[in-house]
Amino acid sequence: MVNEMFDFDLFFRYVMEGREDIGHKDVFYERSRKAHEEFMKQDLVVDTRETWSAWWARWKEFDEAPLVPRD
């Protein structure tokens, strides 16, 4: 699973600074990628609180089961 949340704070900071060249567009996804890596390092288990309708919709699309950290 790839988490692709755009970092709008960084984007607007670059706009306010007047940057013309940002290097590569992946810099705007770096913060969410690091957060996703930290989440995946935890001891994860399948979330059993999923509703039947959510399970059915996920099952139809062959999606992965939702994971939560073990508490």
The rounded distance, in Å, linking the Cα atoms of 18 and 20 is 6
pLDDT digits (tens, 9 = 90+) for 26-70: 888 888 888 888 888 999 999 889 999 999 999 999 999 999 998
pLDDT of residue 1: 42
**pTM of the entire predicted model:** 0.56
The rounded distance, in Å, linking the Cα atoms of 61 and 22 is 36
Question: Would you call 20 helix, strand, or coil by DSSP?
Answer: coil
pLDDT of residue 8: 87
